[in-house]
Amino acid sequence: METLSENRCFGGTQGVYRHRSDACACDMTFGLFLPAEAADGPVPVLWFLSGLTCTHENAMTKAGAQAWAADQGIALVFPDTSPRGDDVPDDEAYDLGQGAGFYIDATQAPWDEHFKMWTYVADELPGLIAQAFPLDMDRQGVTGHSMGGHGALTMAMALPGRFRSVSAFAPICHPTASDWGRKQFAAYWGDETGWGPHDATLLMQESGFDGPMLIDTGTDDQFADLLGTEHLAQAMAARRQEGQIRLQKGYDHSYFFIASFIEDHIAFHAEALYA
């Protein structure tokens, strides 16, 4: 693993690292914030999964998460959203290809060689950082934005026991019923009969999550019709799922929205991670 940068940040260290990924068959870059407490031993971990077009850098520099994570003594992991490189296939559309991995494993050409983001985020990267950094992998939470909110919700429900808490900012809640989902699933998986169980609304209907959930979405979100928030809300109510969906008046889909409520989300995760 190569260290690209390490900067002092709120008493801890914000690092950026690159490594060769077996899952994605290319070099991958991620950000990791370690609070000051990491100098004395393993600390809890909060994953932040970013949305369409983002790299590891967007949330790392725009969300304002490090200050609140430092207060709570929690590490932050910022993975990339897709494989990248000259040999990695791409599409001219912003919502397919590089920057749009959707946190699933592709099975269809030309995507199947590199686009294994479920395996990368769920298996490979956790194993790598657990060996290299003082992290308590028995205390993990996960959050994300938009496409990354979809990833956070589906990983939390599909990997029972992995995460103590899950939250999301304007997540794609029902991708199998949205153009943000059906388009990408068709490209990465082919015919609908081969689509995997990577839909938060369907997973909620089937199994739910064995911990608390917090979801914030803005009432002025410009992509509201693509998110399917109401579908997840109905599924949560039917299952009596522990959690909240909050509609924040006047907020849109931007990082200004995330920065406005990131303190709430980190405090929410801290309560679960330190319980």
**For residue range 63-90, what is the model confidence (pLDDT) as tens digits?**
999 999 999 999 999 999 999 999 999 9
| pLDDT confidence of residue 195 | 83
- pLDDT beyond 90 at 194: no
- Binning pLDDT at 50, 70 and 90, where does residue 46 land? very high
Hey, what amino acid is at 53?
A: T
253 is catalytic: yes
Q: Return the minimum-mean-pLDDT range out of 177-181, 192-196, 219-223.
A: 192-196
Q: What is the DSSP string of 193-256?
A: GG--S--HHHHHHHT--SS-EEEEEETT-TTHHHH-HHHHHHHHHHHT-SEEEEEETT--SSHH
| pLDDT confidence of residue 113 | 97
| pLDDT confidence of residue 251 | 98
- Binning pLDDT at 50, 70 and 90, where does residue 209 land? very high
- Binning pLDDT at 50, 70 and 90, where does residue 193 land? confident
The domain spans of the chain are: 2-273
Catalytic residue among 145, 150, 198, 253: 253
pLDDT one-digit tens code per residue, 122-167: 999 999 999 999 999 999 999 999 999 999 999 999 999 999 999 9
User: What is residue 275's three-state secondary structure?
Assistant: coil
* Alpha carbons 145 and 135: distance in angstroms, whole number: 23
Catalytic residue among 80, 105, 216, 221: 221
Placement of tokens 């739910």 in the chain: 208
- Binning pLDDT at 50, 70 and 90, where does residue 121 land? very high
235: left (phi over 0), alpha (psi -120 to 50) or beta: alpha
Topology of the domain covering 2-273: Rossmann fold (3.40.50)
Catalytic residue among 82, 146, 165, 167: 146
User: What is residue 22's three-state secondary structure?
Assistant: coil
19 is catalytic: no
Percent of the chain with pLDDT over 90: 97
Mean pLDDT for 45-64 is 98
| pLDDT confidence of residue 59 | 98
221 is catalytic: yes
Q: Give every CB contact of residue 245 below 8 A, 6+ residues apart in sequence.
A: 215, 217, 229, 232, 233, 236
Placement of tokens 């808490």 in the chain: 165
| pLDDT confidence of residue 206 | 94
pLDDT one-digit tens code per residue, 219-228: 999 999 999 9
- pLDDT beyond 90 at 197: no
Q: Are 236 and 202 in contact (CB under 8 A)?
A: no
Alpha carbon 83 to chain centroid distance?
15
